[in-house]
């Protein structure tokens, strides 16, 4: 029988964040009256004492672990040690204390940064162990993948029910738009909008634009996560993606056009590439057949519609975006 989220006490770590905010809203729409969000000000989940106190005070039936310390290529280069420690520590303590309190289910959000650098495209979950991750984000990716191994061990030894999701790069309203720590879509949107504000006609982008990525609208990702919470009892890795691939060059030109920085046909003139900066992993695109089979889930939002909504939100909520950073 599917897990009844409506009558459960559900803790959403990272519930005040980008994906977490949508997850909390969707839980409420499912009739869940006990959605609990441990804020960073009240609970330091990188410490065992903070995690122990969270379980004692919130008494969850289900934990959706979305909290992470993460950023783009620049942030990963600057904070590799911190990103490994913070993400590993949170998972380690949260899973161990889930066992101790007899938690009904633990849902872990992983990352496709865990995939090997040269994974054949589209990425299949069976390929997770066939090589080392792309170097710039390996510490973060390996920490997240270790949580999957821990959940597998705890399911087999202690019977802890869990699920493990591998979402592709997310985007949408309320994303992190800080140029140093954000991912590529919000960074490009901000660069284009601010260039327009300054009366400039071009932006600078890292790398060569040859790398490819896949992007998933945050609303679709939240729905996939909750479906896993409802129907999965073991941490079989499941990709969440939109089943398409776009180069960073084409993405940049699309955002340049949608923001109005350049008119159609002149998008390439508005971008200055800096090939001295890294491109990151060469390609990212997911095989999402397992999600469709096990969760009955697939993405619903078209990429261009999602980008338009994200651009519109940033223009209307610039102060909110800066405050979130």
* CA quadruple 133, 135, 140, 146: dihedral sign: positive
Residue with tokens 């919000």: 186
Selected catalytic residue, list 140, 154, 164, 217: 140
Identify the H or E element spanning 203. Answer: strand 203-206
DSSP letter for each residue of 225-248: HHHHHHH--S--EEEE--S--EEH
Distances in Å between the Cα of 2 and the Cα atoms of 31, 227, 251 are 15, 9, 38
d(CA 205, CA 37): 36
Residues forming a β-bridge with 215: 169
44, 13 Cβ separation under 8 angstroms: no
User: What's 4's DSSP letter?
Assistant: -
Residue with tokens 């122990």: 52
User: What's 281's DSSP letter?
Assistant: S
Assess whether 132 carries a catalytic annotation: no
Positions marked catalytic? 140
């Amino acid at each position: 029988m599917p897990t009844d989220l409506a009558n459960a006490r559900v803790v959403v770590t990272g519930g005040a964040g980008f994906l977490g905010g949508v997850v909390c809203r969707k839980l409420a729409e499912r009739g869940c009256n006990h959605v609990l969000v441990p804020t960073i000000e009240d609970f330091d989940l990188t410490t065992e004492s903070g995690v122990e106190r969270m379980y004692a005070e919130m008494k969850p039936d289900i934990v959706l672990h979305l909290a992470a310390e993460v950023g783009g290529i620049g942030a990963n280069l600057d904070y590799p040690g911190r990103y490994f420690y913070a993400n590993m520590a949170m998972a380690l303590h949260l899973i161990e204390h889930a066992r101790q309190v007899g938690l009904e289910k633990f849902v872990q959000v992983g990352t496709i940064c865990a995939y090997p650098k040269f994974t054949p495209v589209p990425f299949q979950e069976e390929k997770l162990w066939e090589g080392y991750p792309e170097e710039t984000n390996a510490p973060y990716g390996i920490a997240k993948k270790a949580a999957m191994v821990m959940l597998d061990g705890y399911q087999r030894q202690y019977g802890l029910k869990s699920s493990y999701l591998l979402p592709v790069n997310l985007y949408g309203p309320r994303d992190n738009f800080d140029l140093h720590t954000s991912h590529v879509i919000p960074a490009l949107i901000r660069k284009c909008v601010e260039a327009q504000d300054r009366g400039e006609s071009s932006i600078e982008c890292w790398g060569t634009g040859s790398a490819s990525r896949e992007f998933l609208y945050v609303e679709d990702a939240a729905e996939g996560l909750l479906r896993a919470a409802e129907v999965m009892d073991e941490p079989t890795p499941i990709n969440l993606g939109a089943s398409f691939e776009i180069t960073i060059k084409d993405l940049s030109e699309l955002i340049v056009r949608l923001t109005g920085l350049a008119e159609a046909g002149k998008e390439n003139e508005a971008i200055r590439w800096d090939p001295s900066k890294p491109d990151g992993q060469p390609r990212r695109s997911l095989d999402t057949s397992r999600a469709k089979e096990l969760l009955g889930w697939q993405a619903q939002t078209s990429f261009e519609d999602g980008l338009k909504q994200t651009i519109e939100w940033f223009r209307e909520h610039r102060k909110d975006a800066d405050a979130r950073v």
